[in-house]
Amino acid sequence: MRTLLCLLLAAAAHAAGRPNVLWFIVDDMSANFGCYGEKTVATPNVDRLAREGVRFSRAYVTAPVCSPCRSALVTGMYQTTIGAHHHRSGRGELKIHLPAEVTPTPKLFQQAGYYTCIGSGLPDLDFRGLSFGQPKGKKAKASSAARLGKTDYNFEWDPAIYDSHDWAGRKDGQPFFMQVQLHGGKLREGSDAARAQYRERVKKELGANTDPAKVTLPPYYPRDPVLLQDWADYLDAVRLTDLHVGRVLDRLEKEGQLANTLVIFMTDHGISHARGKQFLFEEGAHVPLVMRGPGVPAGQVRTDLVEHIDLAAVSLAAAGIGVPAWMQGKDVLAASYRHREEAFSARDRCDETTEKIRSLRTDKFIYIRNYHPDRPHLQPCAYKDGKQIVQKLRELHAAGKLPELSERLLFSPTRPREELYELAADPWQIRNLAGDPAYAAVLEDHRRRLDAKLSATKDPAPESVAMYDSDMKVYVAKGNPEVERNIAQMKKWAAEGK
């Protein structure tokens, strides 16, 4: 016991004087910020971070859905390598355990004497920017555990890797590692009544709501009133997120901590939409990434490819903690860092919907491989189909009222096995070049490079029936007939070889 105490005291002493590290991790949000070219809404606080630090213009998540992305983020490892690639997996009787050598990043900080916390970054507001206890009524006291931020890891982990929900509880002079988890694009979701209440909140806090008529949609979405209103609500969620960021920065300044804090802003994937969240197109996998703090050059824009798993290595290095040899993320701020030549992303099962897609981005192209080409893009999925925007798209499809582009990209009964897009010429990934003879050599090169990546990262075998059934028991227990129908459909397609 005495030896352990001595080690802890030594770690705390060694940590003194090191920078704090604070991550903003935001749900369901693309790079719709002023510093990334968004014109419809103003985002002064994230823009400030970019102005005072480094903005990465080509940052990508390795998984475009919450739990695999966050499992990768907190370990600095590809979710496919550690077996955490299926969304909301390991929640049933069968569990997922990290490889023996892999340690979650908060634990590494803790071992180095840091105070580790995960919450909203504000003492009186939750992850939505609302007082704790709302919307049930007046402010309510919440336990420290209840104030902890979103984790959503697919593997077994020890909650003790987080000391608290907030850095206020640390010892004098002790540096902190803080994750500020924000609701982001999810703020706009819910029932009609919840959406109306949300719009009133926007008007009260920000002065006015975004005008749906001023919204610019991707070209494959029809300018339907439901979709326009949803996108306007989404942009207001961007504004509320920016407001929260500003409040946390104000707190750091008032406490005299901002100058000594590495601040990193990122989202866990793109906007939740029909071609966004869960999918590997730019709409789903491209995210904002901004870093500001000690040693970070101001006003720099980086155009090289980076992956979200790099946050762990960057943060450990900034704190003077050695980056483990097993970690796949890289310290992209290191003087010796060599720019990535490619960025890898993967999509696997999301809830009850089985899927496998892999992608590789290079300087000019994105190559996507669909392992289930005989299934539609929008497979049945209770979560996705519960969204008002997807319901409206399905309604327009059934009525034959969708434009040709929307029909082709969203509702074709099958998909190409391979997709290749030249991003500068085709930013919305509309023209698939995989069948164009002029790009045969490019296709072959990307095919080979993806194969090499899959081998190097030990891409896993298909999920076993036993594991799928174990996780599905959790869903079935909730009593949703739609989920049960979808499970049956997944098994039927699998039996047919689709």
Those residues whose C-beta lies under 8 Å from the C-beta of residue 441, and which sit 6 or more positions away, are none
Predicted local confidence at residue 240, as pLDDT = 98
| Residue in the structure block whose two tokens are 């034959």 | 400
Distance between alpha carbon 44 and the CA centroid of its chain, in Å?
Answer: 22
- For the domain made up of 11-135+143-346, the CATH class stated in words is alpha beta
Three-class secondary structure of residue 56 per DSSP:
strand
Predicted local confidence at residue 138, as pLDDT = 43
Residues forming beta bridges with residue 118, ordered by sequence position: 179
Task: Give one DSSP letter per residue of 411-422, joined into a string.
Answer: S-SS--SEEEEE
Predicted local confidence at residue 7, as pLDDT = 46
Predicted local confidence at residue 420, as pLDDT = 99
Q: In this structure, what token pair is assigned to residue 248?
A: 């946390």
How many alpha carbons lie under 13 Å from residue 182 in its C-beta half-sphere?
Answer: 30
Task: Tally the residues of the chain.
Answer: 498
Mean pLDDT to the nearest integer, 293-308: 97
The amino acid that residue 168 corresponds to is A
Query: Is residue 55 within 8 Å of residue 44, measured between CB atoms?
Result: no
State what percent of residues in the chain have pLDDT above 70. 94
Mean pLDDT to the nearest integer, 268-286: 98
Interior/surface letters 464-485, b for 16+ CB within 10 angstroms, e for the rest:
eeebbebbbeebeeeeeeebee
Query: Is residue 90 within 8 Å of residue 318, measured between CB atoms?
Result: no
pLDDT(5) > 50: no
Mean pLDDT to the nearest integer, 428-440: 98
Predicted local confidence at residue 199, as pLDDT = 98
Q: For residues 279 and 284, give the distance between their C-alpha atoms in angstroms, rounded to a whole number.
A: 5
| Residue in the structure block whose two tokens are 């925007």 | 389
Query: Alpha helices, DSSP H only, in 307-439?
Result: 310-318, 382-385, 388-398, 404-410
Q: For residues 81 and 413, give the distance between their C-alpha atoms in angstroms, rounded to a whole number.
A: 31
| Residue in the structure block whose two tokens are 């694009």 | 185
Q: Which of 191, 206, 276, 199 is nearest to 232 (CA)?
A: 199
Query: Is residue 261 within 8 Å of residue 19, measured between CB atoms?
Result: yes
How high is the mean pLDDT of the chain? 95
pLDDT(234) > 70: yes
Predicted local confidence at residue 132, as pLDDT = 83
The end-to-end CA distance of the chain, in Å, is 58
Query: Alpha helices, DSSP H only, in 55-176?
Result: 66-75, 105-111
pLDDT(10) > 60: no
Mean pLDDT to the nearest integer, 181-189: 98
Q: Which of 57, 52, 37, 27 is nearest to 288 (CA)?
A: 57
Predicted local confidence at residue 15, as pLDDT = 56
So where are the chain's domains?
A: 11-135+143-346, 357-495
The amino acid that residue 108 corresponds to is L
Query: Is residue 434 within 8 Å of residue 420, measured between CB atoms?
Result: yes
pLDDT(265) > 50: yes
| Residue in the structure block whose two tokens are 């790079």 | 31
Predicted local confidence at residue 146, as pLDDT = 77
Predicted local confidence at residue 140, as pLDDT = 45
Query: Is residue 123 within 8 Å of residue 168, measured between CB atoms?
Result: yes
* 193-219 pLDDT tens trace: 999 999 999 999 999 999 999 999 999
* 381-411 pLDDT tens trace: 999 999 999 999 999 999 999 999 999 999 9
DSSP H/E element including 45: helix 44-52
Three-class secondary structure of residue 453 per DSSP:
helix
CB atoms within 10 A of CB 249: 22
Counting beta carbons within 10 angstroms of the beta carbon of residue 260, is it exposed (0 to 12), middle (13 to 18) or buried (19 or more)?
Answer: middle
Mean pLDDT to the nearest integer, 295-317: 98
Interior/surface letters 33-54, b for 16+ CB within 10 angstroms, e for the rest:
bbbbebebbebebbbbbbebbb
* 49-104 pLDDT tens trace: 999 999 999 999 999 999 999 999 999 999 999 999 999 999 999 999 999 999 99
* 48-63 pLDDT tens trace: 999 999 999 999 999 9
* 117-175 pLDDT tens trace: 999 999 999 999 999 876 644 444 556 677 899 999 999 999 999 999 999 999 999 99
Alpha-carbon separation of residue 223 from 37, 318, 368, 402 (angstroms)? 21, 46, 27, 10
Q: In this structure, what token pair is assigned to residue 399?
A: 């009525």
